[in-house]
Amino acid sequence: MGFWPAVLALSALFGALHYLLKPGETWIDGASTGLLGLFLCLSIRRTGDIGLAAGFHFAFNYAALFIFGSPNTGNAGQPLPGRLLDASFEGPQWLTGGPMGLEASVFVFAALAIAFPLFQLRHRASRFAPRGPGRSESTDRRSGEPGSIDSATP
User: Is pLDDT above 50 for 125?
Assistant: yes
Helices (H), the chain: 3-21, 27-47, 51-62, 93-96, 107-122, 137-140
User: Is pLDDT above 70 for 60?
Assistant: yes
As a whole number, mean pLDDT of residues 11-27 equals 87
Q: Give pairs for 148-152: CB < 8 Å, separation 24+.
A: 149/48, 152/48, 152/127
Q: What is the pTM of this model?
A: 0.72
Which residues make beta-bridge pairs with 78? 72
Give the number of other Cβ atoms within 10 Å of residue 62's Cβ: 11
